[in-house]
Structure formats: structure tokens, C-alpha cells
Amino acid sequence: MKQTILYLLAILLILQACNKKNVASESIRKVISFNLGWKFMLGDTPRASIESFDDSAWPFLNLPHDWSIEADFSIDNPTTPGGGALPGGIGWYRKTFTPPAADKGKITYIDFDGVYWNSTVWINGQLLGQRPNGYISFRYNLTPYLKYGQPNTIVVRVDNSQQPNSRWYTGSGIYRNVRLVTVNPLHIAHWGTYVTTENISARKADVNLRITLENNSANLRQAQLVSIIKDNDGQIKARATTSVTVPKDEKIETTQAMMLNQPQLWSDTQPYLYTIITQVIDDGRIIDEYNTPLGVRSFAFDHTKGFLLNGEPVIIKGVCQHHDLGCLGTAVNIRAMERQLEILKQMGCNAIRTAHNPPAPELLDLCDQMGFIVQNEAFDMWHKRKSPQDYSHFFSQWHERDLTDLILRDRNHPSVFMWSIGNEILEQWTDMNVDTLDLQQANILFNFASKMNKDAQSDDLHVNSLLTIKLANLVKSLDPTRPVTSGNNEARPVNHLFKSGAMEILGFNYNHNLWSELPQIYPGQKYIITESTSSLMTRGYYEMPSDHTFTRPERWDIPYENPGNQCSAYDNSCVPWGTTHEHSWQLIKKCDFLSGLYIWTGFDYLGEPTPYWWPSRSSYFGIIDLAGFPKDIYYMYQSEWTDTPVLHLFPHWNWKPGQTIDIWAYYNQADEVELFLNNKSLGKSSKNGDDLKVWWRVPYQVGTLKAISRKGGKEILVREIKTAGTPVSLRLTADRQIISADGTDLSFITVEVLDTDGYPVPVANNMINFSVEGNGFIVGTDNGNPTDHLSLKKPGRKLFNGKALVVVQSNGKRGSVEVKATAEGLKMASVTIKCK
């Protein structure tokens, strides 16, 4: 009878807790941001790990923090232009904090979402551990070393001095979020739930939840586990209760099953999310609570139909994304990531490949909420190196732990559809003139692999295939619900990753000429284009004739130079292993068996300035430039990938007398486009066959170009481009004029120069100086120019092809911030951002 009363009381408490906002998280499991109030010093100070070390001269800062982005770009930095031409080095972080005396007897962890790289952590002078991988999340237990009610000091050393260690910009420091987590001794373990769904229909879905409980107390513990599924209106839709017994100092796993009636499905167009709230109840008290995201969706990859989501064919229209956020560097900011995804979504993009490393967890949260199909990638290299000091030095010791932690952390995200175990791994081939595994290691790999590949024969499988099987099996042991793939630039069957038989989807990087032949080369397999295109573009720069494709460099290992170090925005410039955007998409449209593609890349990124080297310091591959300004090709995708009416006319109309200019137009929802120059028709044009644009060759005259799209003779859209006059004033346009006063929210402000008629001057390159007053500060400036060497943190920036960007951050106080822009000889401009 007593147990029944206690059980009913527990259920009552659960219902009360579920209907009181933040009650559980505040009083049961404490998760607090640990980002504020760190001290930092750049340079190696070995005694800084000692608790009593005097750090009074060190400056304060808040996390996330990327120290590299603060510097000017320089060819002298050992990262090289490939790594962004910004410094690495060694940095130390220290923070003093006082845990409440009431927390004594509880367990306190510190969670790092990512530190780049080679981090070492101490608490009160006690070494907690080291983690070389700069992209992986990790946790330390602080409990044995804490002094409750007294000051404690956490110290982190970050060593990014061994360079170059990457083919792109990595950033340096504690560049992702840090949290302090305090729980009762009996609690749900780190990344301790795993949700799957099956038997999905319009009527119901079966939801299965695995829960890992950890008991750090000195006694065996018995408890109730109650899980509740809530919809996004907070209504309870399903419930499960389980009794558990957990021995002291042990972990146990238990399972729960729930039926969700009339589920709303998650998709790329309607990403509906539920939340599973799991509570641990001991003697009628809720002693822990843990939330798990739930998106109900079914999917399949088919060798003839491509990708199916909830039973319907969906083309994966994706982009590859590196992790930097332009002028913010790699320091994680949710609004900056959200802005990038918003721009991509408006283009019609529905998928992200996390090239070539585990992403920040907040990116996946956003992808869950916004409807992106994510290929989550683990490694850019295995044993065989690509850069002199890269992760290959740590792969043997750390790959199992790193891959395990990635899967455990991210397997509940409904946006994650694939695991990639590697990008262009050099183990695709037999001999790359590097060390190979010895016979003993090879035998270990074979024995491991053969457990899941009964037909494998040691004589048939190279050690690289065995390693592939090992990694794939590790993924499948942790998450059997998602397929394993990899990005391969070796498309022939000699590829050891393909020969392993472990790739559930064959991923192809480039090799466009083979796409149509894949069903014949690999019959019955499933296919995804993991990386494509690599077209080269600079926003606002045009190279003619536009109907000629410029291949640059001539070959990947031949240096290329061109005055100005820019690339044409006509979609007529690409690398020798790639092709144009138009050609890639034409091929996808013809191949129903292809699940889709991930374009290289969505945004320009710092580092890897192909086809150039210094003085370039960032990439030309993006559909959108580093500042977040779309290049013209953006509108080709928008015309093909969305229902938004599109008529995009380019380039600008400020040229020299006597020039002949190629005029392009991307359009949709129309039969034809007619072009006018100063009200005189230059003729009508329609897309023929596979064409995705129309174009004209026009002798330049000062005036106005006008394009009209029509369908069945009816006017659909009109676009005009005018010859801009002399610059006279500035204009500031904020993406949002109201931001949160939370200390992290951002407003991205576009800067333009206007002529006397208020028309933007597309060739302006004026130097703009910025200042702010009020409750915010300038966190970065940019213009999208891959050759600009001024630090992206400076409060001044030249316009590049008519545009620049200033980013303002809330300082955590309510009020407003006024942003002013001035330039010599021009009328100033200002904009006020409210912080609420």
C-alpha cells in the first residue's frame, strides 16, 4: 500500500514539474554556462597550471574564444595561407569559481564542446586529462578535487603551435561552449539516452528509448524511471515507467517503449519536434531530469529511386560547410550559425555536410529545428597524413574514443541521416609512401572485421579495407539506424573503402564524368554525391567571355597566378577536378538513382584559397561569400530549388565606354525573358534543353538595363540595373533591428555607398570606419574579399565591390546600441539596434 501511495505521489510530482517551466532543471540537474569570466594569456607559461599561480595581470574574456582571428593575416604565420594565414600558438585559460556548499555530496562535471586543439585541463593543480582532437566534445569529473564553499581554479592549456595541422582554418582556443553540470549521485549518464522510432504511420509510431543510469553513491540504489513525450505545445502525448536497480559505482542500461498516436512527422520542409523528458524518481523525489529531442521520420536510400523521406522521394540539395563563421572566426555563436542556415534555406538548400569534422552541437540543434538533412563527418584523415602536423599523429590512439563520443553525442538528432567515417582518406589507395600497419595490427583488424563480415578472407582484404570495416562496425554498434558512408575521390573499384563492403552508401567526391555510369560500375548499390562542383567565384568580379570555362589551376599540383587573385562570378571558372554549378545540377536532375549532392561549398571559408596562394587567405568556392553576401549563382539554385519567383539579372552596369558585356539572367516560373537597354528591346530569350539561364552580349552604354520575365505573354517579374553615379552617402541595413540582450545575440549590418539618386554603387571601395554607442560592441567586420589582410576584428573595413559588413553584439544589458559609419567625403549613416 505504501509503495502504491509513493508511486501515485511521484506521478503527481512529475505532472507538476512538467507544467512548471524550468523547475526541474533548476532544482534537480543544474546545467549552467561556464563561459563568463575567464582569464587568458597567449604564450606558454608552464607554471600556470599551479593553483596558486598569480594571474592578476592576465586580461579577462568570455568564451567561446578564438585567439587566432584577432590577428592580421600574414604570410609569415606557420599555418600558411592554406590554414588561413593566421597565427596558432599556445594559450592558457584560468577561471576561479566557488561551488556552493549545498552541492557537496553531488557530482559535478565540466563539459567542453570543443577546444582546438591539444587541450590539457587541471582543477586545483590536479591533472584531469588531455584531448588532442580539436572538434570532439568531452567531459571531466571535478568532484574528487572540489573545495565546496571555497574558491577553486580550473586551468586549460591549448597547444596549437605545431603547424600546419589542417588544410583549412581551424581557429585556436576554447572556441565552443563550456558548461558546469551538477547532478545527484544517481543520475542519467553523459549522452545517456538513445531514442529510435519504428513502425511509423499516420496512425502511430513506436518510440524506443534506451537509458543509461550511473550510480556514483556508496550503496545500491533503486528508483523509478518515468519518460514523457511532449509535443511542441507542451502537451503530454505518451508516457512510460520503469523500475530500476543500479549497483554502487556502476552503470546500467534499461529500455522503455512508448506508442505515439497520430505522430506529426519530421521532414526538411516541416521539421516537427517532440521532446522526451526522462526523470529519475527516488523515494517519491525527482532526483534527475534529462531531455532528449525526438523527430519522427522514416527514410531509406534506394539504388534506383535515390533518397526517400517519409516514403516520398526527396532530392538531397546540400552544401558542405566548414566551421568558421567569417569575421567571428571559429568562436561558436548560435545567431551566426542560424543566419548562415537561414540564407541557405532561402536558397532552397535542405542538407548540410559537416566538412570534415564533428560540428558544434548547436549547429545540429538548429538543423533539427530548421529541417536540414545532415551528413555528420568524423575524420579528414586516418593513419595517412595530409598536413605535416595533423590528426594522423593521434589517430591510432584516439580514433575509437573520438568516433564513439561523436556517435553517442549526436545520435538523437533527427537531422542526422548519415555518418561519414572519412573524407578523401588516403587509405583509399594501397601505397601513399607513408607508414603502414604491422602484421600484428593487421591481424587485430582482420579478426575484428571478420566478426561482422563472415565472408571476408584475409587474402582478399587489404589492411585499409579492414580498418574501414572496423570503423563502420563501431558506428553500427552504437547506432544501427543510420547508414555509414565516406567521401571518396577515388571512384574506381580499386578503392579499398569500397572493397571493404562496409559502405552502406557509396559516397563520391567529384568524378562528374562517372555519375551516369555508377549503376553499371556498382550495380545494386546506393549512391550519394558527397562533394561536388568546386566552382570558383568572387562576388562582383566578372571575367569574359562568359561562355568560356576557365579551368584553374591547370592541374592540382601546378601553381596558378593571376593579377588581383580573383575568380569570375559568371559560373565559368572551376578547378580541374570539378565543374560548374550548372553542369553539376544538370547531371543530378538526370540521375534519379543519385540521392542528391553536397556542393563544395555553401559559404566561403578561411584558408584553402584555391586556385591561388598568398596574398589570398580564404576560399573562392562558396555560393555565398565570407561576409554572408550571396554570389550570383545563389539565384540559379533559388530558381531551381524553391517556389520563390526569381528573376536575377547580372552583372552590374558600371563599365567603361567601348566594352561589350555579357548579361546573364536566372529565372523561373516564366517562358521567356526580354532584355531592354534604355527602353530599347535587345530581344527575348528562353532556356533551351537543359539550360538554366539566358544571356545576351551587350555593348555598354550608360543607362538602365531592364529585364521582364513572362509566362504565356503575362508579365511575371521586372528587374532593373542602373549605371550608378558619384558616391555621396552611406547606407546601413541591419538584418535585425531588435536583438536579445543576452550578451551573445548579434545584428549583421550591411554597408553600401549610394549615389545622388540613392542607388547603390556596385564598384565602390571606400574605407568605412565604424563606431558604436550604447549596449553593444563591434565583434567583427568583413567585405568578402579573399585578399584583404586587415584583421577581421578591426572597426574599419574597405567596401569590396560595393559592400561591407559590420557585426554588433549585445553586451548583456537592455537598451539600445547606435552604430555609426563614416567615410571621407561621404554623408555618414547610422542605425539603432534595440536590445531587449
Cβ proximity of 710 and 645 under 8 Å: no
Cβ proximity of 366 and 668 under 8 Å: no
Helices (DSSP H) in 555-690: which residue ranges?
Answer: 581-590, 633-641
Question: What residues does 778 pair with on adjacent strands?
Answer: 808
Cβ proximity of 783 and 800 under 8 Å: yes
User: Alpha-carbon torsion 438, 442, 445, 447, what sign?
Assistant: negative
Q: Which of 214, 289, 424, 608 is catalytic?
A: 424
Closest C-alpha to 643, from 267, 315, 346, 350: 346
Cβ proximity of 188 and 212 under 8 Å: yes
Active site annotation includes 824: no
Cβ proximity of 564 and 540 under 8 Å: no
Cβ proximity of 479 and 411 under 8 Å: yes
How far out from the chain centre does Cα 666 lie? 28
Distance between CA atoms of residues 478 and 4, nearest Å: 37
Distance between CA atoms of residues 676 and 694, nearest Å: 14
For the chain, helix, strand, coil in percent to 5 are 20, 40, 45
C-alpha cell at 296: 519522427
Q: How many Cα atoms sit within 13 Å of 322 on the Cβ side?
A: 29
Distance between CA atoms of residues 176 and 648, nearest Å: 38
Helices (DSSP H) in 380-438: which residue ranges?
Answer: 392-410
C-alpha cell at 248: 554502487
Q: Which of 214, 377, 531, 608 is catalytic?
A: 531
For 410, phi then psi, to 5°, come to -110, 0
Long-range contact set of residues 297-303: C-beta below 8 Å, sequence gap at least 24: 297/197, 297/200, 297/265, 297/266, 297/267, 297/414, 298/197, 298/200, 299/417, 301/483, 301/504, 301/505, 301/526, 301/528, 301/595, 302/526, 302/593, 303/519, 303/524, 303/525, 303/526, 303/527, 303/593
Distance between CA atoms of residues 224 and 221, nearest Å: 10
How far out from the chain centre does Cα 223 lie? 39
Q: How many Cα atoms sit within 13 Å of 544 on the Cβ side?
A: 12
DSSP assignment letter at 263: P
Cβ proximity of 172 and 88 under 8 Å: yes
Active site annotation includes 424: yes
Please give the positions annotated as active site: 424, 531
